Structure 1
Amino acid sequence: MIRNFTKVIFVLVFCCSSAMLANAQSTVISGTVTDKVSRAPIPGVNVTVKGRTTAASTDVNGRFSLTSIEKPPLTLVLSYVGYATVEQQLTATTTNLSLEMESGVILGQEVVISASRTPERILESPVTIERISASNIKDLPAPSFYDALTNLKGVEMSAQSLTFKSVNTRGFNSNGNTRFNQFVDGMDNQAPGLNFSVGNIVGLSELDVDNVELLPGAASALYGAGGINGTLLMTSKNPFDYQGASFQFKTGINHVNDNESQVQQFNQLDVRLAKSWNKRFGFKTSFSFLQAKDWAANDTRDFDRTARQLKSGDRNTDPNYDGVNVYGDEISQNMINVAQSVQNQTVAGILAATGNTLNIKNVLDASLPANATAAQQGAFLNSLPAALRGTVQNYLPFYFGLRNNAIPNQYVSRTGYAEKDLVDYDTKSLKTSTTLNYRITKSIEAIAQANWGTGTSVYTGTDRYSLRNFSIGQYKLELKGKDFFVRAYTTQERSGEAYNATILGTFINEAWKPSTTWFPQYIANYLGSRAAGQSDAASQMYARSQADIGRLIPGTPGFESAKIAITAKPIGPQNGAKFTDKTNLFHYEGMYNFSDLFSNVVDFQVGASYRNYFLHSDGTIFDDANRTLTIEEYGAFAQLGKKMLDDKLKLTVAGRYDKSQNFEGRFTPRITGVLTVAPNNNIRASYQTGYRNPTTQDQYIDLAVGGGSTRLIGGLPEFLEKYKLISNPGVLADNYRAFLGSVASGTPNAALLVPYVFDPRGVRPESVKSFELGYKGLLDRRLLIDTYAFYNIYSNFIGAVEIYQNPTATAVKFNVPVNLVDDVKTYGGAFGLDYMFGKFNATGNVSYNKINNVPAGFINTFNTPEIRYNLGLGSKEIVKNFGFNAQYRWQDKFTWSSTFGTGEVPAFNTVDAQVSLKIPSINSIVKVGGSNILNKYYSTSFGNPTVGAIYYTSISFNP
């Protein structure tokens, strides 16, 4: 491994050295871009050298500077949304240029980087790409730029709370999306212990976003493991191009017409400061703080965890009720089994007390009839030694209940607590980002960056988790130039006071009255009620009311005291609910683009990376209570591109090799082609491959969830051996359920208990082959069309199986990640358009996704509606200084499947809208708007909260 790491370092040093050499031979081109009519500088203009990879953008004063090895004559290309593209021939002077742009209707001229890791017009991208610029963000109707991602073509989002939302494309949506990568200024934004991005808890303040680029589909050839369904890249503003002070204050309300809450206030403050000196040293810092009352998950429908489906009933009608968002009621026992356990313990206890001379059950069988009267029972008790009378008296109801078959074959659950009484809905989000930039030369820059975020939110995994004062820090050192970068960063995850709400509900019950006491009390009271002539239903209700006497009630001192004590103790032997997660990630990478060195005859890039995970949960998530767990990964890639047929066809070939310490190495090739069939009209085709390693949790988790009813374990061979799942195999949940059904019918069928055979190699990396054909074209400069179709083939698809070990005795339930033997195939497509007419811009897109050949019982998480679409209409300035934007979104119903639960998500539609007023005299914008303004409460996924309207007003200074 040290040898491999040395190779990576060698590549990085080589990249840096080559960059220094290239810089020595380069030419600097600089100038200012202004509006032809107003003479005002235009910030954010894309400036490129035609036919080359060289690119730059103008700063807030309209200035730009770029470096090229080309000598005049050459052609500069200026592009910016809302302005006609300008091509400027340079024959001599290359500095202090004065360039003008004229306002005009034109689309598709934005320059993107992420599609090929080199600048190119979005029209010429070889793969599907979506982009949001800083100027777009000012017009978005959503509460934040991150929320607005769902309006992009092919994008969906799972909202687990107000601030925790998972972005996804092309199916397989999940609450913690491990198939989608997210980068902030080049740093992988995942929480290394969770192995997925925690929304935008740590990320960019809206004032500091320069652009957002999203790549649907596989991108492993360029960006490494993960991201087989999509990659999101967010880039912040640099302090040289965007200087000065900015702030934004947003206030509003939510929970309007909410049955669970009164109207609540929503406040957010964003501040950004940036300054540069001598065009050498730059500094910026940004700050964002949000405070609000979170949405509530309040689904009280009855859920059958064994059958993994909803059932009819509620707490009053179903003794084994388990509410979707009610916790603590997952603890369930069979009434006959409990009675038999009481009988066995009583018999064993009396035998031990009497020197194995008195088997009380045998004596009762011989001494009393099955219908013994109270007098006969009293006489028998009086015949016993006084020391045994109390024990036998408590045992008699169970004895006669079993002897007379008076105890039903019924499961009974403990009384649970609503989520609102267990989690912290006082949502807070604090994000900071600070960078120090130093330009060593005009094209080489050193950067030190620190991003840190903390917050209180709620996340849905196998259980619901209250992420209280959860924090992530990301710290980076980077050296970059026009054609290269070398960076090193670390991600430090801290769980703070985060805890498992399901475990909390269970342990509050246990702290008040252990289940070993509660269930026998329940059954004894049930039998007493039945003996008094009450019906089964009435007796079940009576038994619960008696067993629950003295139960801790939310809001009382006893309940709050128990809650505080349990959330302060870690998960594990201490019977707490708190996570102790201090997992760290260290990452090193570099890249060099040799295109200029080859005089742009071909585009050629190479790069390499190395990362190391240090898992640290003290046994509360991973199997690391008594050992240290690390995971090393490394990889390298190369990409070669060439334009042909008078630059009408560009072909690109790329490949990447990656290796993780627990798995075999993987090679992921990529082939793309873009054909210009007419000016500004391009057909693209691509074959991409991607892969993802099993997550840190897929590898090393060892955690009891569902109130202790299920154990999540890693899929590595060591866990299959630890829990003897090879030598003592269990059965799939579907088979176990069928067996229980046969038992209930009185004809047990053991043939249903077919052992599940695990692959002794354990879980392995998942890969995908993705084929895409697309078209993007600009018609009459007013209509931009973008459409694509894709077909994906997943191999070794990672899902999970639920296994019941020892099914005929005391069954133990495991959830284990495994690979599907057969390939999984998905397909779909999308169509989008942008149309500008007069002062208006109309947008629309529709997406389609489908999956086939997935076996029943396999948790595949293809949680995606077949059809969804977005419609938008806006104007930056419908009349002087007034603008507006409105977005409508609809998606079809679909079935959501996850380790938390399975159920249908109804179809829903939402409308977001805003109107804005520019105040040029103070360089400010006032905005009034709302998301889901019709206030139709909806849920994006099973078990997650319902989301209503947010109405807000904001003022932005120098946005």
Structure 2
Amino acid sequence: MRRSRYGLLALGTVMCISAVAQQSTTVTGSIKNSQTKEPISAVSISIKGGTAGTFTDDKGNFRFSTVQKLPFTIVISSVGYTTKEVSVTSNNQVVNADLDVSFTLGEEVVVAASRVAERILESPVSIERISNNAIRNTAAVNYYDMITNLKGVDVVSASLTFRSVGTRGFNVSGNARMNQIMDGMDNQAPGLNFSVGSIIGLTELDVDNIELLPGASSALYGSGGMNGTLLINSKNPFKYQGLSFQVKAGIKDIDGAQRPTSKFYDWSVRFADKINDRWAYKIGAQYIQAQDWLANQPDNRQRGGTAATTGTRYTDPNYDGINLYGDETTQNIGQIAQSVFGAAGISAFVPNFNAFLAANPGATQSDFNAVLQGAVGATNYAALAAQGVNVFLYGNGRGYFNGVNVSRTGYDEKDVISPETYNFKLTGALHYKLTEKIEASLSANWGIGNSVYTGSDRYSLKELKMGQYKLELKAKNWFLKAYTTHENAGNAFNATITTRLYNEAWKPSQTWYFQYMAAYTGARSAGLDILSSHATARGVADQGRPIGFIGNTPLFKSIAEKPISQGGGLFLDRSRLNVFEGQYNLSDDLKLTEHGTDVLVGANLKQYVLNSQGTLFADTTGNIKINEFGAYLQISQKLLNDVLKLTVSGRYDKNTNFEGRFTPRASAVVKLAQDHHLRFSYQTAYRFPTTQNQWINLTVGGGIKLIGGLPALKNFYNFSGNPTYTQESVGTYRATGNAAALVQQTYGEFKPESMQSFEVGYKGLVAKKLLIDVYAYWANYKDFLSSVNAYQARVAGSAPTALLSDANSFIYTVSVNTPGSVKTSGWGASAEYLLPANFFVSANVYHDEIGALPSASFTSYFNTPKYRLNAALSNSGFGKDKRFGFTLQYRWQNSFYYEGTFASGMIDWMRTLDAVVSYKIPSTKSIIKVGGTNVFNKYYRTGFGSPQIGGLYYVSFGYNVF
């Protein structure tokens, strides 16, 4: 009986397998270019009306199996080619097809604007897109630089490999008002707070496309989308297969104006393979090595602020150069003299000595020494002379020290921060199709590198490491993903703090200032003028001072490698971010699509874990955790036979330290005619204060303490028991001596920043050859996240006179919300035109402007030129077999005033030209390029205190890249 059961089971199994085998149909074939007969890779092969399908490999071949009943139709499609349909009537049918080249503007499909696929012409808001074809043919050195040429974009470059993208104003290094999403993961460093897409993330060969949403986007993408969201998407290994590599080499600093001429290297490799219809994987790596651009701005920083003022090291004894470090240390030499008199116990005699000098204007130092010895006796005089008190008394009596502030001698950035920059990225992913409709993937992006960042100071990011790891389930209408971001600051150090400490370690300020004052007194008494006397004194005090590059000296390294919390300049940031996110498009399941209705829901959970061991955050007692929750809903409806599409969406978010926020968005797209659409949108956005806005606790250049805006930090520094005073009132008190001028600093509720904007735009395609896009917007910001400087006596209960001296007071920069509102507005226009013989021309111009500020002391950090222009001329194929190509890319912007937490000042107008000539080798899908950026080597800056950017010239070879 048992054998009979087993026999029946075996028979049933065989019958089932046989039935499945009979139902399965296999289709194979190859796809070629109808003109060149070259194979076309990454062509989509899909069953019409179904979900099964595949892509051609790097040799143009494909194979897939399906249980779809015969006969059925397969759709063969690829961007830049006409779509073709072929009927399949039998198993193992071979389909060989040739596709005609047919590039049409405006056919791109975008996802970012509504989180659902739609033609770019029908987007409800402004959106820009860069395809992988554009990346292959760009004149830019890398794909991230291409973003600079998009309409509405501004980029702040803090170094060769560190760039911050911004749109519609408020552009700073480390822009926190724009989301940057790399392959579905928030690319912002959870502790350092800047997006790291230009130094850690996808390799160039693995980028499929880039989508940019200028303007408010919080309704769908959450906190941070105040001024835009940037999405960079990778290539799926089922679609893009085979081995690809790119070798790029070049030179920069060709004129030797900043640094000696140096080499540039950029090597990339990617390998992807589809093992079978279920499994595929990819791995990739990229290595960049170069000498960094140099920040060399000598402008004299205004003491007590960041704005630049006049003066040089020779004309201003209290000089504080923007890109010089260590000269932030400053003291009033008159106060030093007074403190010495008190310590020497002769304060009571000082008026008598001053009277003697006043009565004897010709008395020399020797004459005064004799009088001093007579007054205190030979023994006491010897002790005082050994301390230099006799010199101080003489100089003080002559009035040499009155009101004179002197700074220590600083070091240029080239002497402190190593010019060698590198960037190594490693990526990989494993994909598995659970069914024909559901795909699972496990992916990782990891990177390490050296770069330089401009924040409140200049930071040398040495061996900065960051890893992102994601597990995702994805289907046509939904996805679930969990990912984590791990940050490691490596050996990153604050260049300003480290150099100040180095100065102190080499020669303590007490010794340095004593030597300076003695030499200054001697020079003045010898008849030298004031400036020459200061120069002489500095030369004496700086005797033996190490010169040249000090960054690798044992003394400097010992400070740079010591944590800030222990008296050094090193960050120990090991913060991380954990995210779970899901989205579901309910339209098909609810059978709404046939009625022109689309319903989308989504939610996410985030947890920030701050771990800096007290070097960046107030986390000396343990990690700080911040939780966020967000959920969104979007409904769209097509009306009037698809002439009108209305969309409304809303999102709710809650942060541990702040009340919940609701951000709605509404849009309308009107189809004026085929390929002509008018769009209107009302959007709201917000951003929770960053992790640093909330919990930073860091001493920076000048001894200023940066602290977060949460009440816990104000309580820690006893603001209620030892009040703080406004910077303006302390300045008035120091100038007038009137203590009644002091005004206590007040702090309102600390809360998220918000904005509202309205936009109108038009996008149209004329004769399939001319694409036009124009927009205008108006925005209003409230609860603007900024900071204020406040002064506090070092000892609680001290007399107001403690505030007269920086030595007796603390200076805080506190994160706050600025009262009042800020209005901005702007417009942009672009045109792209397909010319005969494969020529293509494009241009865009855009304008952003900020309205009246709430007060004269309000700092907006708008940092945006009023007018910018980009123009390009290219040809995708000319000459023999149309293998040659070229691109010319021009960019211009007018001058503007840049406000930064590090430094503020005018940025000169700039113009730059990038150019490239290419040659294609179709048999191996290779391309050779010779090009350059800023080819006329016209140096320019994008941020005050950031480096000058010159020309970079390169030659590259890419294998299997198209």
2:589 counterpart of 1:597: yes
Once the two structures are TM-superposed, the CA of residue 921 in structure 1 deviates from its matched residue by: 2.8
Cα distance in 1, alignment partners of residues 53 and 636 from structure 2: 17
Cα distance in 1, alignment partners of residues 197 and 219 from structure 2: 24
**SS state of the match for residue 146, structure 1?**
helix
Residue 449 of structure 2 corresponds to 455
Q: 1:546-571 CA deviation, whole Å, 9 max, x = no partner?
A: 111222223479x8121111112111
Cα distance in 2, alignment partners of residues 588 and 93 from structure 1: 45
Q: Which amino acid aligns with 2:234?
A: S
Query: 1:532-571 counterparts in 2 under 5 A?
Result: 532-555=526-549, 560-571=553-564
2:392 counterpart of 1:398: yes
Q: Conserved in 2, the CA contact under 8 Å of 1:32 and 1:98?
A: yes
Cα distance in 1, alignment partners of residues 538 and 610 from structure 2: 43
Residue 362 of structure 1 corresponds to 348
**272-281 vs 947-956, greater mean Cα deviation:** 272-281
Relative to structure 1, is the Cα distance of residues 79 and 115 closer, same or farther in structure 2, using a 3 angstrom cutoff?
Answer: farther
Q: Conserved in 1, the CA contact under 8 Å of 2:74 and 2:88?
A: no
Q: Conserved in 1, the CA contact under 8 Å of 2:353 and 2:393?
A: no
- Alignment match of 2:571 (pick from 579, 582, 596): 579
Residue 357 of structure 1 corresponds to none
- Alignment match of 1:897 (pick from 890, 893, 899): 899
Residue 381 of structure 2 corresponds to 389
Q: 1:48-100 CA deviation, whole Å, 9 max, x = no partner?
A: 9999999998765668999999999999998755445x586999999998876
Relative to structure 1, is the Cα distance of residues 940 and 57 closer, same or farther in structure 2, using a 3 angstrom cutoff?
Answer: farther
- Alignment match of 1:704 (pick from 689, 699, 713): 699
Relative to structure 1, is the Cα distance of residues 367 and 738 closer, same or farther in structure 2, using a 3 angstrom cutoff?
Answer: closer
Cα distance in 2, alignment partners of residues 717 and 891 from structure 1: 42
**336-345 vs 244-253, greater mean Cα deviation:** 336-345
Relative to structure 1, is the Cα distance of residues 670 and 56 closer, same or farther in structure 2, using a 3 angstrom cutoff?
Answer: farther
**749-758 vs 696-705, greater mean Cα deviation:** 749-758
Percent identical: 45
Q: Which amino acid aligns with 1:415?
A: T
Cα distance in 1, alignment partners of residues 317 and 196 from structure 2: 37
Q: Conserved in 2, the CA contact under 8 Å of 1:506 and 1:707?
A: no
Cα distance in 2, alignment partners of residues 676 and 198 from structure 1: 39
Q: Conserved in 1, the CA contact under 8 Å of 2:214 and 2:229?
A: yes
Once the two structures are TM-superposed, the CA of residue 491 in structure 1 deviates from its matched residue by: 0.7
Q: 1:806-838 CA deviation, whole Å, 9 max, x = no partner?
A: 543434322122112111111101101110011
Q: Which amino acid aligns with 1:502?
A: T
Once the two structures are TM-superposed, the CA of residue 842 in structure 1 deviates from its matched residue by: 0.5
Q: Conserved in 2, the CA contact under 8 Å of 1:79 and 1:109?
A: no
Residue 627 of structure 1 corresponds to 622
Once the two structures are TM-superposed, the CA of residue 482 in structure 1 deviates from its matched residue by: 1.2
Cα distance in 2, alignment partners of residues 946 and 798 from structure 1: 29
Once the two structures are TM-superposed, the CA of residue 183 in structure 1 deviates from its matched residue by: 1.1
Cα distance in 2, alignment partners of residues 813 and 92 from structure 1: 81
Relative to structure 1, is the Cα distance of residues 504 and 115 closer, same or farther in structure 2, using a 3 angstrom cutoff?
Answer: same
**SS state of the match for residue 820, structure 2?**
coil
Once the two structures are TM-superposed, the CA of residue 115 in structure 1 deviates from its matched residue by: 1.1
Q: Conserved in 1, the CA contact under 8 Å of 2:58 and 2:242?
A: no
Q: Conserved in 1, the CA contact under 8 Å of 2:143 and 2:204?
A: yes
Q: Conserved in 1, the CA contact under 8 Å of 2:488 and 2:574?
A: yes
Residue 299 of structure 2 corresponds to 301
**SS state of the match for residue 822, structure 1?**
strand
Q: 1:818-875 CA deviation, whole Å, 9 max, x = no partner?
A: 1121111111011011100111110100110001122322332101101001000111
Residue 657 of structure 1 corresponds to 652
Q: Which amino acid aligns with 1:378?
A: A
Residue 815 of structure 1 corresponds to 813
**SS state of the match for residue 829, structure 1?**
strand
Residue 684 of structure 1 corresponds to 679
Q: Which amino acid aligns with 1:586?
A: N
**327-336 vs 545-554, greater mean Cα deviation:** 545-554
Q: Which amino acid aligns with 2:333?
A: M
Once the two structures are TM-superposed, the CA of residue 28 in structure 1 deviates from its matched residue by: 13
Q: 1:270-327 CA deviation, whole Å, 9 max, x = no partner?
A: 0001111111111110000011111111111222132533222211111011111100
Residue 913 of structure 1 corresponds to 915
Residue 744 of structure 2 corresponds to 755
Cα distance in 1, alignment partners of residues 746 and 65 from structure 2: 61
- Alignment match of 2:783 (pick from 773, 796, 815): 796
Q: Which amino acid aligns with 2:572?
A: T
Cα distance in 1, alignment partners of residues 68 and 153 from structure 2: 40
Q: 1:323-343 CA deviation, whole Å, 9 max, x = no partner?
A: 111000011112222222222
2:772 counterpart of 1:775: no
Cα distance in 2, alignment partners of residues 593 and 280 from structure 1: 24
Q: 1:652-709 CA deviation, whole Å, 9 max, x = no partner?
A: 111111111000011111112211110011111111111111111111111111142x
Residue 850 of structure 1 corresponds to 849
Residue 764 of structure 1 corresponds to 751
Q: Conserved in 2, the CA contact under 8 Å of 1:782 and 1:835?
A: yes
Once the two structures are TM-superposed, the CA of residue 196 in structure 1 deviates from its matched residue by: 2.0
**SS state of the match for residue 308, structure 1?**
coil
Relative to structure 1, is the Cα distance of residues 241 and 45 closer, same or farther in structure 2, using a 3 angstrom cutoff?
Answer: closer
Q: Conserved in 2, the CA contact under 8 Å of 1:424 and 1:456?
A: no
Q: Which amino acid aligns with 2:500?
A: T
Q: 1:758-815 CA deviation, whole Å, 9 max, x = no partner?
A: 11x3x21111112111111100000000111111111111112222335434343221
Cα distance in 1, alignment partners of residues 670 and 146 from structure 2: 31
TM-score by length of 1: 0.89
Cα distance in 2, alignment partners of residues 367 and 297 from structure 1: 49
Once the two structures are TM-superposed, the CA of residue 229 in structure 1 deviates from its matched residue by: 0.7
Cα distance in 2, alignment partners of residues 791 and 78 from structure 1: 44
**SS state of the match for residue 564, structure 1?**
helix
| Number of positions where the alignment pairs a residue of Structure 1 with one of Structure 2 | 910
Cα distance in 1, alignment partners of residues 68 and 168 from structure 2: 41
Once the two structures are TM-superposed, the CA of residue 367 in structure 1 deviates from its matched residue by: 8.1
Query: 1:270-309 counterparts in 2 under 5 A?
Result: 270-309=268-307
C-alpha RMSD of matched pairs (Å): 3.1
Query: 1:70-89 counterparts in 2 under 5 A?
Result: 82-83=80-81, 86=83
Residue 231 of structure 1 corresponds to 229
Relative to structure 1, is the Cα distance of residues 408 and 362 closer, same or farther in structure 2, using a 3 angstrom cutoff?
Answer: closer
Relative to structure 1, is the Cα distance of residues 697 and 367 closer, same or farther in structure 2, using a 3 angstrom cutoff?
Answer: closer
Relative to structure 1, is the Cα distance of residues 295 and 514 closer, same or farther in structure 2, using a 3 angstrom cutoff?
Answer: same
* Unmatched runs of 5 consecutive residues or more in structure 1: 1-26, 348-359
Residue 6 of structure 2 corresponds to none
- Alignment match of 1:610 (pick from 605, 613, 627): 605
Cα distance in 1, alignment partners of residues 257 and 601 from structure 2: 57
Once the two structures are TM-superposed, the CA of residue 592 in structure 1 deviates from its matched residue by: 1.1
Relative to structure 1, is the Cα distance of residues 375 and 840 closer, same or farther in structure 2, using a 3 angstrom cutoff?
Answer: closer
Cα distance in 2, alignment partners of residues 671 and 53 from structure 1: 32
**SS state of the match for residue 171, structure 2?**
coil
Q: Conserved in 2, the CA contact under 8 Å of 1:846 and 1:868?
A: yes
2:949 counterpart of 1:950: no
Q: Conserved in 2, the CA contact under 8 Å of 1:55 and 1:119?
A: no
2:442 counterpart of 1:415: no
Q: Which amino acid aligns with 1:566?
A: I
Residue 937 of structure 1 corresponds to 939
Residue 715 of structure 2 corresponds to 721
Cα distance in 2, alignment partners of residues 303 and 53 from structure 1: 63
Once the two structures are TM-superposed, the CA of residue 521 in structure 1 deviates from its matched residue by: 2.5
Q: 1:213-265 CA deviation, whole Å, 9 max, x = no partner?
A: 11111111111111211111111111111111010000010011132222111
**SS state of the match for residue 941, structure 1?**
coil
**SS state of the match for residue 447, structure 1?**
strand
Relative to structure 1, is the Cα distance of residues 76 and 314 closer, same or farther in structure 2, using a 3 angstrom cutoff?
Answer: farther
Q: Conserved in 2, the CA contact under 8 Å of 1:893 and 1:906?
A: yes
Relative to structure 1, is the Cα distance of residues 385 and 643 closer, same or farther in structure 2, using a 3 angstrom cutoff?
Answer: same
**SS state of the match for residue 596, structure 1?**
coil
Once the two structures are TM-superposed, the CA of residue 611 in structure 1 deviates from its matched residue by: 1.1
Relative to structure 1, is the Cα distance of residues 808 and 69 closer, same or farther in structure 2, using a 3 angstrom cutoff?
Answer: farther
